[in-house]
């Protein structure tokens, strides 16, 4: 059986542990920074080893999955390096890839085989208490190999995510960062901006909200520290996306104002509907 | 038993009919423009009378509920006028109130008693096939009386929505239009603008979407013709909301760019989360 070390028992790391436990196809060790997180994991019985000792967690691992925030990844990677067996495969769940990959490549080079991953699953909730074995069912996992990526390691990481239930897509790190700037980071900052705009405009409006606003704004309830880090980390691609969105909002404003703008406004909405209706969304409600 | 006429068997009108049928506390007549819609309603067995004849549908009604698009409301109101008994109460489900109320007041004045309503329920789906008896459970219904509103009619309309499962909130028509511009119309146009921005930026990004984007963009799959009408009708309040949002997006962009913007960006997200987490959302998933 494979030995898999999960570093960080949050929503993603915890969900990986729960799913692997249900599959009973690997030995799972889990590292957490805080002792109370260890206690939660032990109570759930989803890891053979749960420890605050990084070296112990990764010692015999075939695969290490970094499930810590993007900003903590470098520190944790450097800390485990001396304890990894040569050739150990390392992957992550980080939402930004450009700088992470460069950093990981430099840290692991010659010691371990790193392959970047980003499972597009999660929710506005955080921590092991929100973890669930079916979080990855039908989700997309983006893997970001580069020319230096070891083909065998790429195969193992691909198989790992498929085993968890994901559909795997390969992208270059730069294309990954542009795509998630558009479909993940921009929606996130828009949701927060929407909430703050309404609060400043007429907070009374929150007392009459319907299901539309609830869903449109859901991700704004996500963890601010984690998201601030992600958004700063991917600032360049996000800025391009914000500028494009602002330009489109200006156009929309003109369509609203022009006496003859009705047709154009209708077509703008019709195009959006037609595009969205063709998107292959994950079928199950793991958000 | 009260006699209630529902004009328009779409998502809202159909859901009202289904709920009233389950309550078995009133005689329901239903008008539809198209014969095939009548057939659907008859098959569901939720109306005593289902007819394409407006006069027949409203003839003995105590309460008439206009469930047609905002743009068709004046025409239907004028058409039923000769068939209403004096003092009949009329309400609607329109998403914009300023001009609707002025129009309805003028049409019904001296003949019937009009009270504006706007149940904050619905989804991106349309038509009787999407209707459901529990659509209004736990939803907010905004009622917009003005100084001329008959108090007895206001009481009847309030009781009607409560019977359907709604929490009723009274707002002035102008405040209604400002509030829904912020929590309904702005989110809608943002969802559409987001989809169109991504499509122009990198349509490949749609192949890696997660649950966040699915929910943030959901309302963009709503009916374009209906929404184009609503947005044009409430253009003034919406334009104010768009301008405020664009200003906030510019601020956000600056926070991303400034080397010392991390704290400010975190606080922006933290305020949004804290505001959203306190919003009393409808509990059930009727969206």
Per-residue pLDDT of B100-136, as tens digits, reads 778 898 899 989 999 999 999 987 788 999 999 999 9
Residue A226: how many other CB atoms lie within 10 Å: 17
Report the chain A residue with the minimal C-alpha distance to residue B253.
Answer: A239
Residue B246: how many other CB atoms lie within 10 Å: 17
Write out residues in chain A with pLDDT < 50, as ranges. 286-287
Residue-level length of chain B:
287
Who among A189, A206, A273 is closest to B279 (CB)? A206
For chain A, the farthest-separated pair of C-alpha atoms sits apart, in whole angstroms, at 70
pLDDT band at B65 (very low <50, low <70, confident <90, very high): very high
How high is the pLDDT of residue B287? 42
Who among A184, A219, A256 is closest to B232 (CB)? A256
Distance from CA of B96 to the nearest CA of A (A): 14
Beta carbons of B235 and A256 less than 8 Å apart: yes
More confident: B281 or B59: B59
CA distance A228 to A240: 17
DSSP state of B102: H
Beta carbons of B197 and A220 less than 8 Å apart: no
Report the chain A residue with the minimal C-alpha distance to residue B135.
Answer: A211
For an interface test with A, the pick among B198, B242, B253 (most A C-beta atoms closer than 10 Å) comes out as: B198
Chain A CB contacts of B209 under 8 Å are: 120, 140, 183, 279, 281-282
Q: Are B45 and B22 in contact (CB under 8 A)?
A: no
- Of the candidates B192, B66, B13, B12, which has an alpha carbon nearest to the alpha carbon of residue A210? B12
Beta carbons of B194 and A178 less than 8 Å apart: no
How high is the pLDDT of residue A287? 42
For an interface test with B, the pick among A142, A194, A251, A261 (most B C-beta atoms closer than 10 Å) comes out as: A194
For an interface test with A, the pick among B123, B210, B233 (most A C-beta atoms closer than 10 Å) comes out as: B210
How high is the pLDDT of residue A283? 67
DSSP state of B217: T
pLDDT(B283) > 70: no
Average of per-residue pLDDT across B240-257: 97
3-state secondary structure A27-82: EEEEECCCHHHHHHHHHHCCCCEEECCHHHHHCCCCEEEECCCHHHHHHHHHHHHH
Reported ipTM: 0.89
CA distance A151 to A170: 13
Chain B CB contacts of A252 under 8 Å are: 189, 193, 242
How high is the pLDDT of residue B284? 54
Chain A CB contacts of B241 under 8 Å are: 197, 201
Chain B CB contacts of A269 under 8 Å are: 192, 220, 224, 227-228
Residue-level length of chain A:
287
More confident: B55 or B122: B55
Q: Using the structure block, give the residue that is written with the tokens 């154009």.
A: A264
Query: Which range has the top average pLDDT, A101-115, B87-101, B171-185?
Result: B171-185
Distance from CA of A37 to the nearest CA of B (A): 24
- Start-to-end C-alpha separation, chain A: 31
pLDDT band at B5 (very low <50, low <70, confident <90, very high): very high
CA distance B40 to B14: 10
Who among A142, A206, A232 is closest to B208 (CB)? A142
How high is the pLDDT of residue A158? 98
Average of per-residue pLDDT across B200-205: 94
How high is the pLDDT of residue B286? 44
Residue A81, classified by CB atoms within 10 Å of its CB into exposed (0-12), middle (13-18) or buried (19+), is middle
Report the chain A residue with the minimal C-alpha distance to residue B198.
Answer: A182
How high is the pLDDT of residue B126? 86
How high is the pLDDT of residue A286? 44
Distance from CA of B275 to the nearest CA of A (A): 7
Beta carbons of A217 and B276 less than 8 Å apart: yes
How high is the pLDDT of residue A5? 98
pLDDT(B221) > 80: yes
Convert B22-46 to b/e letters by CB count within 10 Å (16 or more is b). Answer: eeeebbbbbbbeeeebbebbeebeb
- Of the candidates B217, B126, B166, which has an alpha carbon nearest to the alpha carbon of residue A218? B217
- Start-to-end C-alpha separation, chain B: 31
**Average pLDDT score, chain B:** 94
């Amino acid at each position: 059986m494979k030995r898999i070390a999960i570093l960080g028992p949050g929503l993603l790391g915890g969900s990986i542990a729960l799913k692997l436990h249900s599959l009973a196809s690997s030995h799972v060790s889990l590292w957490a920074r805080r002792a109370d997180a260890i206690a939660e994991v032990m109570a759930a019985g989803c890891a053979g080893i749960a420890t605050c000792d990084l070296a112990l967690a990764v010692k015999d691992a075939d695969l290490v999955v970094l499930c810590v925030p993007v900003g903590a990844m470098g520190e944790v990677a450097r800390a485990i390096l001396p304890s990894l067996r040569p050739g150990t495969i390392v992957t992550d769940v980080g939402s930004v890839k450009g700088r992470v990959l460069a950093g990981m490549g430099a840290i692991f080079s010659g010691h371990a085989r790193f392959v970047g991953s980003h499972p597009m699953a999660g929710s506005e909730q955080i921590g092991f208490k929100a973890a669930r074995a079916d979080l990855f069912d039908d989700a997309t996992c983006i893997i970001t190999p580069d020319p230096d990526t070891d083909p065998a390691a790429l195969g193992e990481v691909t198989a790992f995510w498929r085993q968890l239930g994901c559909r795997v897509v390969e992208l270059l790190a730069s294309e990954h960062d542009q795509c998630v700037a558009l479909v993940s980071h921009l929606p996130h900052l828009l949701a927060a901006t929407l909430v703050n705009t309404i609060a400043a405009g007429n907070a009374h409006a929150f007392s009459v909200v319907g299901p539309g606003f609830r869903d449109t704004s859901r991700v704004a309830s996500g963890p601010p520290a984690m998201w601030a880090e992600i958004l700063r980390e991917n600032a360049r691609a996000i800025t391009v996306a914000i500028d494009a969105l602002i330009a489109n909002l200006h156009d929309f404003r003109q369509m609203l104002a022009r006496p003859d703008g009705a047709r154009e406004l209708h077509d703008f909405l019709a195009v959006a509907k037609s595009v969205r209706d063709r998107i292959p969304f994950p079928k199950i409600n793991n958000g």
